[in-house]
Amino acid sequence: METKYIFVTGGVVSSLGKGIIAASMACLLKARGYRVTIQKFDPYINIDPGTLNPYEHGECYVTVDGHEADLDLGHYERFTNVQTTRANNVTTGRIYQSVIDKERRGDYLGKTVQIVPHITDEIKRNIKKLGNTGNFDFVITEIGGTVGDIESLPFIESVRQLRWELGNNCLCVHLTYVPYIAAAKELKTKPTQHSVKQLQEVGIQPDILVLRTEKNIPPEMRRKIAQFCNVSPDAVIQSIDVPSIYKVPLTMHEQHLDELVLRKTGITPEGEPHMAPWLRFLDKMDRAEKKVTIGLVGKYVELQDAYKSINESLFQAATYDDRKLDLRYIHSEKLNEDNVDETLRDLDGVIIAPGFGQRGIEGKFVALKWCREHDVPTFGICLGMQCMVIEFARNVLGLGEANSTEMNPSTPDNVIDLMEEQKSVSNMGGTMRLGAYECRLDPESRAAKAYGKTTVNERHRHRFEFNDDYRQRFEDAGMRCVGRNPETGLVEVVEIPGKRWFIGTQYHPEYSSTVLNPNPIFIDFVKAAIAYGEERGK
């Protein structure tokens, strides 16, 4: 079949969850047997979100091919179980960079280079790139930002043009917000009407409206919206707040979103989507009563989205083990010798978060020392793993000033140091060790047992690494290097075999954990945490 293109735009306010709606739609289409991919076009000028502070943009997600991407790509993968790549996330910056490169090469043959048609053509080329591979029946494109923003105009104009070019193979879904005014006890449709009008002004008539709301929108109100917005009444769908994002595909299916999409792109819907495995997961989620309490030690704890993928991976693992996840964020800057006991004592397991820079690092060492000495299941991820190594060097090997050269370039014991190939790099964007690399695990290791295999492929995002010169000393004292990259020999996993569960990974297993394919190392960590909780009579 010809590739169908679905565009998802948003209006009224940001943070409505366009990514979740796009992912839910993809989830349903995939469950109907279609080949689906989702891509995000972001209107900001950064080349990618890799250089953005988590305060600006939440977590930076990493694709298998080493692209630093918007965190929505994490949702796409978790909901569809389909891997994304560099092609799935394009920013204004990348579009301009490519157009300017072409201009410098003389590709435009002396013409004046303009937003229309050159930038819009470049956007259109990128939108169709994945579709042109022939690998997908549906390409869902989420346009970042809110309709009406100056930044998103070239993207919206490109969508308008593509609609004409693609005809029946194209569909526009617009997400808006229906606020509830408590004082008047009323839901308000005016912002939706305005937002659709704004879209119409730039030449786009949405085919489907999804209304975000906290209260049920009565059918007559939906009919009114349909009438005012030129949309068929069955194509006005509400997306009411649900306790878990993983329920959104169901609420969309109940309102026939998947059938609508098929019919409106010229396909006759047959049968029902195969959602059985997804429903089993939701059922476990609903039935779980007992908790598993995990502490996440990091410096961005006031920020919901900074550790999104870790949070979701833990949630998936807890759910598969019939537990409710009780995740406690622990501010590494506030953790010290005096409060560590009371802060960590009730936890079943502790995660030491990834990160960059000195801030909050000492709190991570305090937490790690306490966890190691109290034999609490502990999982260090990336910087968290590096901190495990440093803490061990300081307190077990007696190397009091051991450090990473990231934190102290003149440390006498550089147990974590720059990778050789990183030493000459001065450019900040996309210059780390990024993307999926193979790792060979020692068959006797806990990590290998967790995965049930000795070769794994996990994603990376770091500059620094374990310094192999110290390996023997670590191993003699009980911390083992149990995972390595087969080509470079870089240490990817360390563990202390004598402990209940004490593993650090240089890679980020959280990027590859999906609802239908949860990451085994998170599953094993959560199991160990549950066992530890039960041991203590919880």
E-strand ranges in 259-323 read 291-298
CA distances from 266 to 3, 206, 260 (A): 12, 16, 10
Distance between CA atoms of residues 390 and 416, nearest Å: 7
Q: Of 354 and 533, which CB lies nearer to ligand GLN in the complex structure?
A: 354
Which residues are annotated as catalytic?
382, 508, 510
Closest separation in Å from C-beta 300 to ligand GLN: 12
Burial of 111: CB neighbours in 10 Å, binned 0-12, 13-18, 19+: exposed
Distance between CA atoms of residues 60 and 47, nearest Å: 13
Q: Of 260 and 382, which CB lies nearer to ligand GLN in the complex structure?
A: 382
Q: For 169, which DSSP code?
A: G
Per CB under 6 A, the segment of 153-161, 321-329, 354-362, 476-484 that binds ligand GLN is: 354-362
Per CB under 6 A, the segment of 295-303, 344-352, 371-379, 462-470 that binds ligand GLN is: 462-470
CA 83 to chain CA centroid, Å, is: 12
Q: Which of 464, 466, 507, 532 binds ligand GLN (CB under 6 A)?
A: 464
Does the footprint of ligand GLN cover residue 511 (CB under 6 A)?
no
| The two three-digit tokens of residue 28, written as one number | 């349903």
Does the footprint of ligand GLN cover residue 308 (CB under 6 A)?
no
Closest separation in Å from C-beta 105 to ligand GLN: 34
Per CB under 6 A, the segment of 41-49, 239-247, 440-448, 458-466 that binds ligand GLN is: 458-466
Tell me how many residues contact ligand GLN (CB under 6 A).
10
Sign of the CA dihedral running 533, 536, 537, 538: negative
Closest separation in Å from C-beta 299 to ligand GLN: 11
Distance between CA atoms of residues 430 and 461, nearest Å: 9
Distance between CA atoms of residues 25 and 4, nearest Å: 13
Does the footprint of ligand GLN cover residue 330 (CB under 6 A)?
no
Q: Of 348 and 417, which CB lies nearer to ligand GLN in the complex structure?
A: 417
Does the footprint of ligand GLN cover residue 394 (CB under 6 A)?
no
Q: Which of 32, 222, 462, 500 binds ligand GLN (CB under 6 A)?
A: 462
Q: Are 222 and 236 in contact (CB under 8 A)?
A: yes
Q: Of 96 and 356, which CB lies nearer to ligand GLN in the complex structure?
A: 356
Closest separation in Å from C-beta 361 to ligand GLN: 10
Strand partners, 441: 483
Backbone φ and ψ of 270, nearest 5°? -125, 135
Distance between CA atoms of residues 301 and 467, nearest Å: 29
Q: Which of 19, 349, 354, 483 binds ligand GLN (CB under 6 A)?
A: 354
E-strand ranges in 43-147 read 61-62, 68-69, 89-91, 138-143
| The two three-digit tokens of residue 282, written as one number | 């939701």
Contact pattern from residue 355 through residue 384 relative to ligand GLN, giving x for each residue in contact according to CB under 6 A and a dash for the rest: xx-------------------------xx-
Q: How many CB atoms lie within 10 A of CB 14?
A: 13
Distance between CA atoms of residues 7 and 169, nearest Å: 11
| The two three-digit tokens of residue 514, written as one number | 């999906």
Q: Which of 308, 461, 480, 499 binds ligand GLN (CB under 6 A)?
A: 461
Closest separation in Å from C-beta 380 to ligand GLN: 10
Q: Of 94 and 463, which CB lies nearer to ligand GLN in the complex structure?
A: 463
Per CB under 6 A, the segment of 27-35, 349-357, 363-371, 444-452 that binds ligand GLN is: 349-357
Per CB under 6 A, the segment of 145-153, 290-298, 348-356, 435-443 that binds ligand GLN is: 348-356
| The two three-digit tokens of residue 353, written as one number | 């978060």
Strand partners, 457: 438
Closest separation in Å from C-beta 353 to ligand GLN: 8
Distance between CA atoms of residues 471 and 426, nearest Å: 29
Closest separation in Å from C-beta 514 to ligand GLN: 20
CA distances from 504 to 107, 388, 389, 398 (A): 49, 7, 8, 20
Q: Of 74 and 144, which CB lies nearer to ligand GLN in the complex structure?
A: 74
Does the footprint of ligand GLN cover residue 68 (CB under 6 A)?
no
Distance between CA atoms of residues 250 and 219, nearest Å: 19
Which helix (H) or strand (E) segment holds residue 287: the answer is: helix 276-287
Per CB under 6 A, the segment of 7-15, 281-289, 455-463, 478-486 that binds ligand GLN is: 455-463
Distance between CA atoms of residues 376 and 368, nearest Å: 10
Q: Of 275 and 419, which CB lies nearer to ligand GLN in the complex structure?
A: 419
Q: Of 273 and 360, which CB lies nearer to ligand GLN in the complex structure?
A: 360
Q: Of 357 and 412, which CB lies nearer to ligand GLN in the complex structure?
A: 357
Backbone φ and ψ of 440, nearest 5°? -100, 130
Q: Which of 391, 406, 495, 524 binds ligand GLN (CB under 6 A)?
A: 406
Does the footprint of ligand GLN cover residue 463 (CB under 6 A)?
yes
Distance between CA atoms of residues 378 and 499, nearest Å: 9
Q: Of 209 and 310, which CB lies nearer to ligand GLN in the complex structure?
A: 310
Closest separation in Å from C-beta 73 to ligand GLN: 17
Does the footprint of ligand GLN cover residue 58 (CB under 6 A)?
no
Output b/e per residue, 247-274; b: 16+ Cβ within 10 A. Answer: ebbbbbbebbbbbbbbebbebeeeeebe
Site residues (vs ligand GLN, CB under 6 A): 354-356, 382-383, 406, 461-464
